[in-house]
């Protein structure tokens, strides 16, 4: 809460959001929630900061996966004889990559794993970026909306049920895409 009230808290929030999408283990919600509670009038601005920084961090994670695959990843696959399975993974990732990014981007699943995997698999960068914007925006704006409308009550709800809330939103989102694909 002390950091949330600091005059440079927005910069720290951006840094944490960027880092979490590419290598850092702590989600930005740990800072977004207290900042939103400390200043509910700015909570949607904080959600925007999280979204933009997270997508930029996701692009950095993508770059890590893309660059390290040729230097490190290929040697590991060769050592374990996993080239054929990796080819299957890449094909599957190209077919469902956008849904994977959307699902992981709004759930508590470590997003950095997906950003790096997207780079390794060579998921289309435009598809990756759009899916990241939608997913991360949904995640952070959902938290912001709850904080704005429910204030301290939202804090208790989020602390207790954030994982389930984002998982349910992810399932609904993916279910919607699957329904559109097979019904229309």
Give residue limits of the domains in the chain: 9-183
Looking at the chain, how many residues does it have? 184
Reported as a pLDDT band with limits 50, 70 and 90, residue 27 is: confident
Can you state the angle between helices 43-68 and 125-183, rounded to 10 degrees? 100
Query: Which pairs from 73-80 meet CB under 8 Å and 24+ separation?
Result: 73/120
Please check the confidence at residue 85 and state whether its pLDDT lies above 90: no
Whole-number pLDDT of residue 136: 95
Which pLDDT score is estimated for 184?
47
Is the alpha carbon torsion for 59, 60, 63, 65 positive or negative?
negative
17 has pLDDT over 60: yes
Check the CA dihedral 111-103-80-59 and report its sign: negative
The answer, yes or no, to whether residue 29 has pLDDT greater than 50, is yes
Mean per-residue pLDDT, 110-123: 86
Query: Using CA atoms in the order 160, 165, 167, 169, what is the torsion angle rounded to 10 degrees?
Result: -170
The pLDDT score that the predictor gives to residue 88 is: 78
Look at residues 146, 183, 174 and name the one whose alpha carbon lies nearest to residue 36: 146
């Amino acid at each position: 809460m002390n950091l949330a009230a600091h005059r440079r808290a927005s910069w720290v929030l951006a840094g944490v959001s960027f880092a979490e999408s590419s290598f850092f283990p702590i989600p930005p919600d740990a800072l977004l929630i207290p900042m939103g509670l400390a200043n509910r009038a700015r909570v949607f601005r904080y959600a925007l900061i999280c979204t933009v920084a997270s997508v930029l961090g996701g692009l950095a994670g993508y770059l890590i996966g893309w660059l390290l695959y040729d230097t490190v990843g290929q040697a590991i696959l060769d050592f374990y004889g996993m080239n054929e399975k990796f080819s299957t993974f890449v094909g599957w990732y190209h077919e469902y990559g956008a849904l994977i990014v959307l699902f992981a981007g709004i759930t508590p699943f470590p997003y950095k794993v997906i950003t790096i995997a997207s780079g390794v698999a060579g998921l289309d960068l435009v598809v990756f970026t759009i899916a990241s914007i939608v997913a991360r925006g949904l995640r952070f704006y959902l938290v912001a909306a709850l904080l704005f409308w429910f204030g301290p009550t939202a804090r208790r709800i989020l602390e207790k049920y954030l994982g389930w809330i984002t998982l349910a939103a992810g399932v609904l989102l993916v279910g919607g895409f699957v329904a559109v694909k097979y019904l229309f």
